[in-house]
Structures are given as C-alpha cells and as structure tokens.
C-alpha cells in the first residue's frame, strides 16, 4: 500500500511548486526526486491525491498544484523545521541587542522578519493588558486637565488626557502619584479591573485629610481612565514591514491591493493575530481560507507569541500560499525567541 509514497509525492509536489511556480507533472517528479517508481505510478498517486483534495490541476493537461489542504498537510506532517545556522542566530541576536529602546526593538524585529522570510512582517507591541505596571505618572496641565502616563514593565508608554470635573491641587496630584504607585505598581494591567475598588479605598484613604471625598473621586477617575485605555483595544499597536515583498512575489491572481488594505487595518491584523493564540509560545500557521477573512484568502499567516512567561504579544509573517513554510516558520520562531530574551533582560 502506497500511503507513505503518496505523501512523499505530495511533499515533492509542494517543494517543486514552491521552487518553480510551475504546476508539476509526473515526469518532472521522477526526475527531480528519487522516488523509485515510474511516472505512470506517480500519476496514479496524483489521481488519488486529487481525489482527496490535496492537489488540483489548473487545467487538463497541466501539472498539479497544492490546494490549501495540501499545504496544510505538508506543514503538519511532512516538513521538518530546519534550524537556522549559528551565524544567522548570532546575527539576529546582536541586531536585536543593539536596539536602544522598545520602539527600536520592535522596528528592528519587524524588519528582520521581513528580510528573513521575504514576506510581509507584522509585530504587535507588547500587550498592555498583559504586561505589568511599572509606573503611573500624573501631570497637571492647567486648570482641570490631567495627563496620565502609564509605563509598563516592557517599557511601553501610554498617555491619556483627562478633563476633570473640579480643579486639582498640585499637591494633591503629587500625593496621589505617590500613593497610586505604591499601591498599583507590579500589578498586571489585566488584574486592575478586579482590584479597582480596593485600590480606590487604599489610595484615597492615604491621601485625604480634609477633602478625602474629592480625592476618592479623583482616584476613581484616574483608574477609570487607565482601565478605559486598556479596554480600547485600538491602543494595541501593530507595525508592518516588507510590503514590497508582496509585489515581488507575483503570486496574486487578482491584485495585491486588497491585501495591502487589510495590512493597513490595525484592528483586522490584531484580530487575526489574536485568533492564532491557541498555543501561545508555539508557531501557528493559517493557510488561505483557514483564517476567515476574505481579502486574505490568497495568503498564509505564520505567527508566534513572544514575551516572558505568558506570551505578551505576537509576531508574524503574511505571504502568498506558495511559500517556503519551513523557512518562514524557522525565522518567525527564532525572532520570537530572541525577542523574548531581549525583553526579559
């Protein structure tokens, strides 16, 4: 029973098609891969693979091309992720280590992925919801405006301006800053919601002498603002690089513009990445129609979480269906790992 050989044939078809972009025929297969059987036998296997929905012929009298399902099978069972060379690993490591701040790390990472995979790279900023609070800074800006700056353990800074109902006292702001930091620093932002009421008590009790009612209000307002900032998922930024690789691939039947449009929609990217988070530290792959998003049916997404402990955010590569999956997976995994290491250090 040729079950094994059939999968060998599938692997060979995927590899050849990825390499040449030509539909691959039975003769070519026997020539380039030592399968030990004749073209006629391959043809039988191909008929079976087509029956199973793993390959299709673009037209009669042409070779075969893998389907989404064919690539899926290849990725799941047939490819072994080839490790990067020591030199490559060292290059990634030093490039990332040279970054001067978080923005720079993210920028370098996204360019790195684009360059290694020859695809469109996507990097999500370390998530606010998940990373711990390092500092909250309050700045009075005129009469009744308060600037809240939230600093996370990963070095990310978020800001928000509040319009206050009543005027604020410089000194009260200073006291609040002190208390708030004492009470809330170290908390994961996702925990903040749960412990909010306790914090309000803790903090405002500490501040108040006379105006303790007003202080409690102030604390609540500030915490609300922090919570709201977090709730606003749009604050979770995604950066993209390597869109030029799309245009070069020339694999898109219609046009690349729907893909480019999708890549400009932070919300969409964020959703796609988030949906791939079933196993956060592993590399996940979505092929063609698997991610249910029409404009990207002609693309695959390879993505991994990164960050310490629980993954904090995700990186990924968006490219054509016809791509070097083992290579992409290896690159994405490597960058995710080094990114995790850099951010922890």
Task: Name the residue nearer to a second copy (CB basis): 201 or 264.
Answer: 264
Out of 12, 14, 28, 302, which residue is the one contacting DNA (CB under 7 A)? 28
Q: Which does 257 bind (CB under 5 to 8 A by kind): DNA, a second copy, none?
A: a second copy
For 8-51, what is the HEC assignment?
HHHHHHHHHHHHHCCCECHHHHHHHCCCCCCHHHHHHHHHHHHH
Measured from the CB atom, the residue of 45 and 235 that comes closer to a second copy is: 235
User: With respect to DNA, which residue has the nearer C-beta, 130 or 322?
Assistant: 322
Which residues are within 8 A (CB) of 298 and not within 5 positions of it... i.e. 6 or more apart?
Answer: 251, 252, 253, 254, 259, 288, 320, 321
- Residue 302's CB is within 10 A of a number of other CB atoms, namely 29
Closer to DNA by Cβ: residue 16 or 236: 16
Radius of gyration of the chain (CA): 26
Within residues 4-23, the interface with DNA by CB under 7 A covers 5, 22-23
Q: Min. distance of Cβ 99 from a second copy in angstroms?
A: 12
Structure tokens at 190: 């996702």
* 341 binding DNA? (CB under 7 A): no
32/252 with CB nearer a second copy? 252
Estimate to the nearest angstrom the gap between the alpha carbon of 45 and the chain centroid: 38
Residues 40-69 that bind DNA (CB under 7 A): 40-41, 43-44, 46-47, 50, 57, 59-64
What six digits make up the tokens of 141? 């800006």
Q: Which residue has the tokens 């290491």?
A: 341
| Residue 48 CB, nearest approach to DNA (Å) | 10
In whole angstroms, how close is the CB of 242 to a second copy at the nearest point?
Answer: 8
CB of 178 to a second copy, least distance (A): 10
The H-or-E segment that residue 56 falls in is strand 55-56
**303 φ, ψ (degrees, to nearest 5):** -145, 150
- Which C-beta is closer to DNA: that of 57 or that of 140? 57
Interacting residues with a second copy (CB under 8 A): 101, 134-135, 137, 139, 141, 147, 149, 151, 155, 157, 159-161, 241-248, 255-258, 260-261, 264
Alpha carbon distance 216, 213 (integer Å): 5
Looking at the Cβ atoms of 37 and 164, the one nearer to a second copy is: 164
CA distance 323 to 117: 9
Least distance (Å) between residue 323 CB and DNA? 21
SS3 at position 220: helix
Residue 26 interface partner, choices DNA, a second copy, none, CB cut-off 5-8 Å depending on type: DNA
Residues 121-160 that bind DNA (CB under 7 A): none
Report which DSSP code applies to 234. G
Smallest distance, a second copy to C-beta of residue 222, A: 16
Tokens of 321: 């269906």
Nearest to 283 by CA among 265, 256, 260, 306: 306
Q: Where are the alpha helices (DSSP H) in 124-264?
A: 170-184, 189-207, 212-231, 243-249, 257-264
Nearest distance from C-beta of residue 49 to DNA, angstroms? 10
Q: Least distance (Å) from DNA to the CB of residue 272?
A: 33
- Positions that interact with DNA (CB under 7 A): 1-2, 5, 22-28, 36-41, 43-44, 46-47, 50, 57, 59-64
């Amino acid at each position: 029973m040729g079950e094994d050989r059939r999968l060998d044939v599938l692997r060979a078809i995927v590899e050849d098609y990825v390499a040449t972009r030509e539909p691959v025929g039975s003769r070519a297969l026997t020539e380039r891969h030592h399968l030990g059987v004749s073209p006629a036998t391959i043809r039988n296997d191909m008929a079976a693979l087509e029956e199973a929905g793993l390959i299709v012929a673009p037209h009669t009298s042409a070779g075969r091309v893998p389907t989404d399902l064919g690539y899926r099978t290849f990725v799941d069972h047939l490819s072994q992720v080839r490790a990067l060379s020591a030199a490559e690993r060292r290059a990634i490591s030093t490039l990332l280590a040279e970054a001067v701040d978080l923005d720079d790390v993210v920028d370098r990472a996204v360019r790195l992925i684009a360059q290694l995979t020859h695809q469109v790279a996507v990097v999500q900023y370390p998530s606010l919801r998940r990373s711990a609070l390092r500092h909250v800074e309050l700045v009075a800006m005129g009469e009744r405006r308060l600037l809240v700056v939230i600093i996370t353990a990963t070095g990310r800074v978020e800001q928000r301006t509040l319009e206050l109902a009543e005027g604020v006292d410089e000194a009260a702001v200073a006291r609040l800053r002190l208390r708030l930091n004492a009470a809330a620093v170290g908390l994961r932002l996702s925990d903040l919601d749960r412990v909010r009421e306790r914090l309000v008590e803790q903090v405002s009790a500490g501040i108040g002498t006379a105006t303790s009612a007003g202080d409690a209000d102030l604390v609540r307002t500030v915490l609300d603002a922090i919570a709201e900032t977090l709730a606003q998922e749009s604050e979770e930024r995604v950066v993209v690089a390597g869109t030029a690789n799309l245009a070069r691939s020339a694999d898109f039947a219609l046009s690349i513009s729907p893909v480019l449009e999708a890549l400009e929609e932070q919300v969409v990217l964020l959703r796609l990445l988030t949906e791939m988070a079933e196993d956060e530290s592993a590399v996940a792959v979505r092929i063609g129609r698997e991610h249910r998003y029409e404009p990207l049916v002609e693309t695959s997404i390879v993505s991994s979480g990164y960050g310490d402990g629980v993954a904090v955010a995700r990186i990924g590569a968006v490219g054509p269906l016809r791509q070097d999956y083992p290579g992409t997976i290896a690159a994405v995994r490597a960058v995710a790992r080094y990114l995790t290491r850099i951010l922890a250090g």
